[in-house]
């Protein structure tokens, strides 16, 4: 028992074991730790962050360069993720950008940025100026956005139809679909619009583009992802201990077995990817995966001065300028077509495509390249999956679920993972009779 200043005994705060040190587990740990719970996080790998992490490019070298498994970006509407970064004191390590650069093959650049009008009209000026869309495409998109705003809360079939079905219903032009709707959504949700439930497409455009004028601003971590959760930052989060290289092998009514030893707590949060649940003896939904391919290229000269850009009409969808325009990180979301391709073929394709957008890439020498295919990047947010995503509560009163695949209200993103962690933390607090609110509501 702990005694307060008047010597009344205070009940000891419960202990919680969190399984998995990805964003879902870490955000649950940070929330519960700062509310006074004792938290132990068990992570299988030697570093934190799960699918949003970085690792040494050459692990055998002492001062090896850290690279992200793939560029991760967020928007200002990711309020829970930003809250998590704030808890760890790293919010200022996220650089926000107001410009989105769209580049056509040949190199013509169009910029989308907000102007002086209030939401939802804040993009009007720059949208009208986009050169990669015709006037007819723009009128179609404006009609589409109006319909989306109207139907968002009125239709009950958005989990049953694909985004592409909805766009065709709204008579969007082929170029508007390819260069606007598909281009934005495939990267935001990591799924093609022909496979993606319309609900998620609506959410991206509503929260990111229409609800608030600054919501679309893109946040890019200015340091490697893994540095955002460095061990020493956790002192700010209360009584949280981190056990790396400690895979949990089993969970049973008595507790967990990790690295051959039993550990017990009053509450357990399982924050693993869904495909790992059966390893612990827990049931998992039969979701499909959608892959992402990250391509890191180091050139002998500056290729671009832009901080980032989205590339139209090609396989590579995004390029990020990681250092001096020479180290570029390219991203292909929903990259099923690259799944069987060799590393050499992917690099050749990436360099060839870059040359179509940036003349400097044509004469440049590639000094180094690294390809990371994440075949299990996220679950595929197909029609029908939303109803199968479980809430944090399980049939067991001391066991809770978190993870980007659980019912967080968001698709599989860093924000979705953090929301799931906060929801699981709230469920633990409720179960222990100490209700606490951690989840911040959406901006609209
Ligand atoms: C290539 C790529 C690019 C992405 N880009 C973006 C982006 O730009 N923006 C965005 O918002 N989202 C992006 N995402 C999605 C985002 O990374 C994920 O949605 C999010 O990180 C998932 O977090 P999580 O905690 O749910 O799961 P994970 O990150 O998978 O965490 C689970 C953790 O559990 C650990 N673990 C597994 N088994 C065990 C065990 N038995 N015992 C203990 N620990 C175990 C794992 O090592 C891992 O650390 C991207 C994902 C990928 C793969």
The predicted structure's pLDDT at residue 61: 80
* DSSP assigned state of 387: G
Nearest ligand 1 atom to the CA of 248 is 42
The predicted structure's pLDDT at residue 1: 39
270 neighbors 374 (Cβ within 8 angstroms): no
Q: Is the CB of 80 under 6 A from ligand 1?
A: no
Q: Which helix (H) or strand (E) holds 186?
A: helix 183-189
φ/ψ region of 105 (left if φ > 0, alpha if ψ in -120 to 50, else beta) reads: beta
Three-state SS annotation for 343-366? HHHHHHHHHHHHHHHCCHHHHCCE
- CA dist 226 and 388 (Å) reads 31
Nearest ligand 1 atom to the CA of 372 is 1
Q: How far is CA 178 from the centre of its chain?
A: 23
Q: Is the CB of 374 under 6 A from ligand 1?
A: yes
Residue among 25, 43, 50 to mutate when testing ligand 1 (max atoms within 8 A of CB): 50
Give the pairing type, strands 38-42 and 100-103.
Answer: unpaired
Nearest ligand 1 atom to the CA of 26 is 25
Tokens of 125: 């000026």
Q: Is the CB of 22 under 6 A from ligand 1?
A: yes
- CA dist 189 and 187 (Å) reads 6
> Among 134, 114, 133, 135, which residue's Cα sits nearest to residue 125?
114
Q: Is the CB of 377 under 6 A from ligand 1?
A: yes
Which residue's CA is the nearest one to ligand 1's atom 48? 50
The predicted structure's pLDDT at residue 341: 98
Q: What strand order describes the sheet that includes 38-42?
A: 240-243, 38-42, 15-19, 267-270, 399-401
Q: Is the CB of 275 under 6 A from ligand 1?
A: no
Tokens of 359: 């003349």
Residue with tokens 């032009």: 173
The predicted structure's pLDDT at residue 7: 56
Q: Is the CB of 290 under 6 A from ligand 1?
A: no
**294 CA → ligand 1 middle, Å:** 15
Beta strand residue intervals within 24-181, DSSP E:
38-42, 54-56, 66-68, 74-75, 94-97, 100-103, 109-112
Angle of helix 79-87 relative to helix 23-34, nearest 10 degrees? 60
The predicted structure's pLDDT at residue 444: 87
**23 CA → ligand 1 middle, Å:** 7
Residue among 17, 18, 19, 20 to mutate when testing ligand 1 (max atoms within 8 A of CB): 20
419 neighbors 409 (Cβ within 8 angstroms): yes
Which residue's CA is the nearest one to ligand 1's atom 29? 50
**379 CA → ligand 1 middle, Å:** 11
Q: Is the CB of 87 under 6 A from ligand 1?
A: no
Q: Is the CB of 294 under 6 A from ligand 1?
A: yes
Which residue's CA is the nearest one to ligand 1's atom 13? 413
Q: What is the pLDDT along the chain (444 residues), one digit of tens a residue?
A: 344 445 555 578 999 999 999 999 999 999 999 999 999 999 999 999 999 999 988 888 877 889 999 999 999 999 999 999 999 999 999 999 999 999 999 999 999 999 999 999 999 999 999 999 999 999 999 999 999 999 999 999 999 999 999 999 999 999 999 999 999 999 999 999 999 999 999 999 999 999 999 999 999 999 999 999 999 999 999 999 999 999 999 999 999 999 999 999 999 999 999 999 999 999 999 999 999 999 999 999 999 999 999 999 999 999 999 999 999 999 999 999 999 999 999 999 999 999 999 999 999 999 999 999 999 999 999 999 999 999 999 999 999 999 999 999 999 999 999 999 999 999 999 999 999 999 999 988
Nearest ligand 1 atom to the CA of 421 is 25
Give the pairing type, strands 38-42 and 240-243.
Answer: parallel
Which residue's CA is the nearest one to ligand 1's atom 31? 22
Q: Is the CB of 227 under 6 A from ligand 1?
A: no
């Amino acid at each position: 028992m702990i005694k307060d200043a008047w010597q009344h005994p205070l009940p000891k705060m419960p202990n919680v074991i969190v399984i998995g040190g990805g964003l879902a587990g870490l955000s649950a740990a940070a929330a519960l730790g700062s509310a006074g719970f004792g938290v132990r996080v068990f992570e299988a790998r030697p570093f934190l962050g799960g699918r949003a992490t970085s690792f040494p490019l050459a692990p055998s070298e002492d001062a090896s360069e850290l690279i992200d498994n793939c560029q991760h970006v967020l928007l200002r509407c990711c309020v829970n993720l930003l809250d998590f970064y704030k808890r760890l004191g790293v919010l200022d390590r996220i650089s926000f950008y107001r410009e989105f650069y769209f580049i056509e093959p040949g190199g013509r650049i169009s910029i989308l940025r907000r102007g002086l009008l209030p939401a939802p009209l804040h993009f009007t000026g720059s949208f009208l100026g986009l050169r990669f869309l015709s006037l007819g495409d723009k009128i179609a998109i404006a009609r589409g956005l109006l319909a989306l705003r109207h139907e968002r809360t009125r239709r009950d079939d958005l989990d049953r139809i694909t985004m592409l079905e909805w766009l065709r219903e709204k008579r969007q032009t082929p170029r508007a679909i390819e260069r606007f709707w598909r281009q934005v959504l495939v990267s935001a949700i990591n799924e093609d619009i022909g496979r993606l439930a319309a609900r998620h497409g609506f959410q991206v455009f509503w929260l990111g583009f229409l609800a608030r004028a600054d919501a679309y601003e893109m946040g890019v971590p200015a340091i490697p992802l893994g540095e955002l959760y460095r061990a020493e930052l956790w002192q700010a989060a209360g009584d949280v201990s981190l056990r790396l290289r400690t895979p949990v092998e089993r969970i049973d009514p008595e507790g967990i077995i990790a690295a051959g030893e039993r550990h017990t707590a009053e509450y357990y949060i399982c924050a693993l990817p869904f495909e790992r649940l059966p390893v612990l003896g827990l049931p998992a939904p039969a979701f499909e995966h959608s892959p992402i391919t990250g391509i890191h290229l180091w050139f002998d000269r500056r290729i671009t001065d832009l901080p980032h850009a989205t590339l139209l009409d090609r396989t590579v969808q995004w390029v990020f300028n990681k250092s001096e325009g020479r180290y570029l990180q390219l991203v292909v979301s929903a990259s099923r077509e690259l799944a069987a391709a060799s590393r050499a073929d992917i690099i050749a394709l990436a360099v060839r495509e870059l040359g179509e957008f940036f003349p400097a890439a044509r004469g440049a020498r590639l000094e180094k390249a690294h390809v990371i295919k994440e075949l299990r990047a996220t679950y595929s947010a197909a029609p029908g999956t939303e109803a199968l995503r479980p809430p944090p509560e399980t049939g067991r009163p001391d066991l809770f679920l978190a993870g980007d695949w659980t019912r967080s209200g968001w698709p599989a993103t860093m924000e979705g993972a953090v929301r799931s962690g906060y929801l699981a933390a709230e469920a633990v607090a409720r179960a222990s009779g100490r209700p606490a609110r951690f989840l911040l509501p959406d901006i609209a």
